[in-house]
Structure 1
Amino acid sequence: MILIISKNKEATTDEVIKWLFVMDKKFIRVNEDEVFEIKTKEKRIYIESSKNSFFIDEIESVWYRRGGLKFKRLQYENPSVDMHMSEHQHWLEDYVIKMLESKKYINKQSNCHVNKLLVLKKAENLGLDVPSYYLAENTNHIHLGQSIVKPIAGNPTLENISEDIYGVMYTAVIDKYRTDEFFISFFQEKIDKDFEIRAFYLNGKCWSMAIFSQKDQQTKVDYRKYNDKKPNRNVPYKLPDNIEEKIHQLMTSLDPNCGSIDFIKKDNKFYFLEVNPVGQFLNVSRICNYFLDREIAEYL
C-alpha cells in the first residue's frame, strides 16, 4: 500500500495518481483537512480519520508531497495532567511519523523545508558556484542595479491578503536606496545570465530544462513573472556530469531524495540558486516529455 500525503486540489498529486491507477497500485491519499486518531487493533498501530484508515505496517512506501499528517489530541481537565499527557501524545505521533518515514519514501514530512542559507553554504562547500550573497537590514552598502533581493525562506506566497487576492514574493533588482531599516533580508549579486535551468532530482537522477527568460523584460529577473502572451522558450537540457554529481551529493547531505533545483548559466559557469523539495515540476515534465509523474509512480 502506498501512502500519499498532499493537499486538496494539488495538481501534481493528481497526475501521479493517474499513473498509479494505470499501474494498478493500491494507495491512500491524505489531504491537509484530515485529522487522524492513533489507535490500536490486533496489537498493531492503526490510524483513522473520517475519510481514511490504515495500519502503519500495511504501508510499503510513502510520498510526502505537501501538507502533513495531523492528529487529534485528547484534552484533560486538570492542567498538569493535560500537559503531561500532551507530551506522551507528542511522542506517539512522532513514532508514527518516523515509522512511516522508515519505509521506502519520496521526501519526508519531518524535513520538507530546508534552510536556504545553510543549503547555500553546503553548495559552496561541495564546489558549486554560488553568486555572492549577504544579509542586511538596510541598503547602505548595496550596489544599485547590481544586487537583487529575494526571500530568505524560499518562494513564499502571501495568502488572504484581502478577498480573492494573494501575493507572490518575486526576486527584484535594487535600483534605489532606502533611508529606513527593515527586517534582515537576503541580498545577492545579480548575474546577467545566458539562461536559467530548472532541474528535477529524484533518487540520484536529474532531468533539466533550459529557460530562455533573459530577453524578455518581464521575465528577465524572475522567470516566474510569466509572459502568457509571449512565453519564454523552454527546451530539454543536460547539465554536465560533474554538476549532476554535486547535486546528488548536496541532496544526499540534505536528506530529501527529491526536489526542484534552480541554476543560472553564465558563460562556462553554472550558478546554483536554491533547492525546493516540494517545488513544482509538471511544466518541466510536460514541456520536455520527461513523464516525471510516471517516474514517481513507478518508484512508489
Structure 2
Amino acid sequence: MILIISQNQETTTTEVTKWLVKMKKNFIRIHEDEVFNIRTKDKRIYLESHRNCFFIDDITSVWYRRGGLQFNRLQYKNNSINLSMDEYQHWLEDYVRKKLESKKHINKESNSDINKLWVLEQAQKYGLHIPPYFLAENTDDVDLNKTIMKTIGENPRMENIIKNYSGMMYTSVVEERENTNFFTTFFQEKIEKDFEIRSFFLNGHLWSTAIFSQNDEQTKIDFRKYNTKKPNRNVPYYLPKDIEEKVRLLMLSLDLNCGSLDFIKSGDKHYFLEVNAVGQFLGLSVKCNYSLEKKIAEYL
C-alpha cells in the first residue's frame, strides 16, 4: 500500500495519483485536514481518521508531498495526568513518523523545511558556485542596484496576514537605503544572468529546464512573477556532468532524495541558488515533456 501525505486539492499530487490509478496500484492520500487516532488492532498499530484507516506495517512506500500527519491526543480532567500523557503520546506519534520514514520513500516530513543558510554552506563544501551573500540588519554596506534581498527561510504566504489576499515575497533589488535597522535579512550579489535553470532531482537523477526569464522586465529578477500574457520560453537543458555529481553529493548530505533546485547561468558559470524539497515541478514537466509525475508514481 502506498501512502501519500499531501494538501487538499494539491494539483501535482492529483496528477501522480492518476498514474497510480492507471497502474492499478493501491494508495491512500492523506489530506491536511485529517486528524488520526493511533490505536492497536490485532496487536498491530492502526491509524484511523474520519476519511482513512490503515495498519502502518501495511505501508510499503511513502511520498511526503506537503502538509503532515496530525494526531488526536487523549485529554483527561486531571492536568497532571495530561502533562504525562502528552509526553507518552508524543513518543508514540514520533515512532509512527519514524516507522513510515523508514519505508521506501520520496522525501520526509521531518526534513521538508531545510535551512537555506546551511544549504548554501554545504553547496560550497561540495564545490558549487554560489553568489556572494551576507546577513545584515541595515543597508549601510549594501551595494545599491547590485544587491538582491531574499527571505532567510521558505517563502511565507500571506493568506493569514491579510484578509482576502494571497501573495508571496519575491526576490527584489535593493535600490535605496533604509533609515532604520530591521530584522536580520539575507542579501546576495545580483548576478547578471543568461537564463535561469530549474532542476528536478529524484533519487540521483536530474531533469533540468532553462527558463529565459531575463527577456521580460516582469520576470527578470524573479521568474515566479509569471507573465501569463507572454510566458517565458522554457526548454529542456542538461547541466554539466560535474555539476550534476556535486548536486548528488549535496542532496545526499542534506538527506534529500527529491527536490527542486534553482541555478543561474552566467557566462561559463552555473550559480547554485537554493533547493526546495517540496517545490513545484509540474509545469516544467509538462512543458519539457519529462513526465515527472509518472516517474514518481513508478518509483512509489
TM-score, length basis structure 1: 0.99
Q: What CA distance in whole angstroms lies between the structure 2 residues aligned with 1:233 and 1:167?
A: 24
Residue 68 of structure 1 corresponds to 68
Q: What CA distance in whole angstroms lies between the structure 1 residues aligned with 2:160 and 2:55?
A: 37
- Which deviates the most, 29-38 or 77-86? 77-86
SS, match of residue 153 in structure 2: coil
Deviation at 1:157, TM superposition (A): 1.5
Residue 77 of structure 2 corresponds to 77
Q: What CA distance in whole angstroms lies between the structure 1 residues aligned with 2:195 and 2:117?
A: 24
Alignment of 1:127-146 (within 5 A): 127-146=127-146
Residue 15 of structure 1 corresponds to 15
Residue 292 of structure 2 corresponds to 292
Q: Deviations over 1:224-251 (max 9, x none)?
A: 1111111111100000111111111111
Alignment of 1:3-42 (within 5 A): 3-42=3-42
Q: What CA distance in whole angstroms lies between the structure 1 residues aligned with 2:105 and 2:143?
A: 45
Q: What CA distance in whole angstroms lies between the structure 2 residues aligned with 1:276 and 1:126?
A: 18
- Which amino acid is the alignment partner of residue 111 of structure 1? N
Residue 90 of structure 2 corresponds to 90
Residue 99 of structure 2 corresponds to 99
Alignment of 1:51-62 (within 5 A): 51-62=51-62
Q: What CA distance in whole angstroms lies between the structure 2 residues aligned with 1:152 and 1:240?
A: 28
Q: What CA distance in whole angstroms lies between the structure 2 residues aligned with 1:24 and 1:243?
A: 37
Alignment of 1:250-289 (within 5 A): 250-289=250-289
Q: Which stretches of structure 1, 4 residues or longer, exceed 6 Å deviation after superposition? A: none
Q: What CA distance in whole angstroms lies between the structure 1 residues aligned with 2:160 and 2:69?
A: 23
Deviation at 1:283, TM superposition (A): 1.1
Q: Deviations over 1:45-103 (max 9, x none)?
A: 00100100000000000000000010000112222211111000000000001001100
Q: What CA distance in whole angstroms lies between the structure 2 residues aligned with 1:281 and 1:273?
A: 16
- Which amino acid is the alignment partner of residue 295 of structure 1? K
Alignment of 1:203-214 (within 5 A): 203-214=203-214
- Which amino acid is the alignment partner of residue 155 of structure 2? N
Asked if the contact 1:161/1:167 (under 8 Å) is kept, the reply is: no
Alignment of 1:169-248 (within 5 A): 169-248=169-248
- Which amino acid is the alignment partner of residue 177 of structure 1? R
- Which amino acid is the alignment partner of residue 205 of structure 1? H
Q: What CA distance in whole angstroms lies between the structure 2 residues aligned with 1:250 and 1:222?
A: 24
SS, match of residue 162 in structure 1: coil
SS, match of residue 99 in structure 1: helix
SS, match of residue 261 in structure 1: strand
Instruction: Extract unaligned runs of 5+ from structure 1.
Output: none
- Which amino acid is the alignment partner of residue 10 of structure 1? E
Q: What CA distance in whole angstroms lies between the structure 2 residues aligned with 1:167 and 1:295?
A: 31
Q: What CA distance in whole angstroms lies between the structure 2 residues aligned with 1:234 and 1:156?
A: 26
Greater share of strand: 1
Residue 156 of structure 1 corresponds to 156
Instruction: Extract unaligned runs of 5+ from structure 2.
Output: none
Deviation at 1:133, TM superposition (A): 0.4
Q: What CA distance in whole angstroms lies between the structure 2 residues aligned with 1:49 and 1:154?
A: 30
Q: What CA distance in whole angstroms lies between the structure 1 residues aligned with 2:19 and 2:58?
A: 21
